[in-house]
Amino acid sequence: MKIAVCQYNPIIGDLKGNTEKILEGYARGVKDGVDLVVFPELFLCGYPPLDLVEKKEFRDAVSSAAKLIAGQTNHVGLLFGTITEDYEDKIGTGVYNSALLCYDGEIKFVQSKTLIPNYDVFDEVRYFESAKDVSVFEFRNEKLGISVCEDIWNDADYWKHRRYTVDPVQKLVDNGATVLINISASPYAYGKRKERFDMLSLLTRTDKIPLVYACTVGVQTELIFDGASMCFNKDGKLELLGKAFEEDYFIYDTQKKYSEIKNYESSFEEEVLSALILGVRDYAKKTGFKKALVGLSGGIDSAVVTYIAVKAFGAENVHVILMPSKYSSAGSVDDSLNLIKNLGISYNEISIQPVVDKALELLKPIFNGKPEDVTEENMQSRMRGMYLMAASNKLGYLLCTTGNKSEIATGYATLYGDMCGALAVIGDVYKTQIYKIAGYINRNKEIIPQEIIDKAPSAELRPNQTDQDSLPPYNLLDRILKMYLEEQKEFEEISKVIGDAAVVKKVLRLVDLNEFKRKQAAPVLRVSTKAFGYGRRFPIVQGWRK
């Protein structure tokens, strides 16, 4: 069987645009003489559609679009993901996350998703009922075993601890499927691709059935979908791999011999950088921004974000603003100017001091002689935020937020100050990882000036300040944070590993106390298994202390 995989990039809710993409991919497959054209999970409405699913007019429009698409099919099969509704259901939402197989002008077969994920960034139980039935479908002398995303993530051979009691893919195998097809929308995190490979390779070589794993690509605000669709033969060998972080179209022939693909992953630096560039580019494309704006401090975070913006928008569409204060180090402006030169972007320099001084003068009656504290530091940061937002509003540029994961975790950032912006580009990347990425950016020639990489990290909000006045060294901090945030380890266990309970306690407390800031943070591009934002939900007000 010849199967065309359309690893395309939908826009959530854009039924017109997504319909066009489906029809375009189908026409291409027909022209190429394939048997079946496959699109990813919920491609017609985009994934995740969230509460749009609760709107009846939306569901009706999706349903009409699906029928319209089916009506345009000929003898070649078209399989795509969409929401369906069972109006006979007397109990529950009556809505399903389904794969539709269409040909000869009709919807011929519907297989809904059985396993409804409801953890981390997934909220699907909120919307979808579990499939009433799982069955194979005969098409062109093959028995298609169709499943949707999570359905394939409960293999008893692979998982030590399973989430679900049923295994719909096993049922398809037991019912005699000869080709497995899984349509998927699986959010990216570094390392996830290896997990997909390991699991799917084991599954196909155990069950002796080839698999087409068709993934979505593109970015939906915080969630990055990396594509990299995979086709395995019945011996568990990876034979075709879709492009990573871009749209792709390719044909898999289950009868053909391919050479085995062994490299499906890149280095952390390369992969994450690609993910973030796509993140910024796709956010801008889907919201209509043509140009980007970054506040350049002279530090490594804003330098890396500016590089990402240049890759996403092109140098001619990136503008930066330098806003030194009296606490800025002599090198800050020079280093920034060197970066600007290396990247070939435009800039302005504007002082915050006269405005901060004026504000401080007027605030005197309120401050009432109280000593200087973090207030004055925050004011500098907020003044910069105000400039950047003014420029963004006036010029229509997308303001990229520059805070990293270590900062956001510990609250080492000013709400309404350096936290201003539409998208927290590196908000899921620890400070120590930023250095690695900077090194990767400079692998062939110096783009980010070495001075920026070498200097001690500082917010430069008071004389001779460095981050390490308030925080543990970043290599220690990031180890603690990674265990706490991503590895679900807790105080006792982390303390044992680190050997310093006091510093662990301090860091964990900072994380817990800063939930209120993160509530008001820009969306964070997710590149780890646990990012701040939608998939991490802690009470803002709570008293749990270990």
Q: Which residues are catalytic?
A: 41, 113, 149
Q: Which of 182, 171, 103 is nearest to 139 (CA)?
A: 103
Minimum separation from the CB atom of position 56 to a copy of itself (A): 6
Looking at residue 243, the DSSP 8-state letter turns out to be: P
Residues of span 426-455 touching a copy of itself by CB under 8 A: none
Size of the site for a copy of itself (CB under 8 A): 93
**How far is residue 281's CA from residue 309's CA, in Å, rounded to a whole number?**
8
Q: Which of 20, 51, 235, 446 binds a copy of itself (CB under 8 A)?
A: 51
Q: Which of 20, 24, 54, 198 binds a copy of itself (CB under 8 A)?
A: 54
**How far is residue 95's CA from residue 56's CA, in Å, rounded to a whole number?**
11
Minimum separation from the CB atom of position 265 to a copy of itself (A): 28
Looking at residue 81, the DSSP 8-state letter turns out to be: E
Q: Which of 25, 49, 81, 187 binds a copy of itself (CB under 8 A)?
A: 49
Contact 250, 263 (CB under 8 A): no
Minimum separation from the CB atom of position 350 to a copy of itself (A): 5
Sign of the alpha-carbon torsion through 268, 274, 280, 286 = negative
Q: Is the peptide bond before 371 cis (omega within 30 degrees of 0)?
A: no
**How far is residue 77's CA from residue 79's CA, in Å, rounded to a whole number?**
7
Minimum separation from the CB atom of position 524 to a copy of itself (A): 11
Using the rule CB under 8 A, give the single segment among 8-16, 26-34, 235-243, 256-264 that binds a copy of itself.
8-16
For 271, how many CA atoms within 13 A lie in the half-sphere containing its CB? 23
Using the rule CB under 8 A, give the single segment among 48-56, 133-141, 144-152, 446-454 that binds a copy of itself.
48-56
Using the rule CB under 8 A, give the single segment among 28-36, 252-260, 412-420, 434-442 that binds a copy of itself.
412-420
Give the CA diameter of the chain: 85
- What distances in angstroms separate CA 284 from CA 309, 320, 426, one per listed residue? 10, 17, 16
Q: Which of 131, 522, 527, 531 binds a copy of itself (CB under 8 A)?
A: 522
Residues of span 359-398 touching a copy of itself by CB under 8 A: 359, 362-363, 365-367, 370, 373-375, 378-379, 382-383, 385-387, 389-391, 393-395
Show the CA angle centred on residue 425, arms to residues 39 and 216, nearest 5°: 5
64 binds a copy of itself (CB under 8 A): no
344 binds a copy of itself (CB under 8 A): no
Residues of span 456-495 touching a copy of itself by CB under 8 A: 488, 490-493
133 binds a copy of itself (CB under 8 A): no
Residues of span 273-312 touching a copy of itself by CB under 8 A: 283, 286-287
Within 8 A by CB and 6+ apart from 480, the residues are 472, 494, 498, 503, 504, 507, 508
118 binds a copy of itself (CB under 8 A): yes
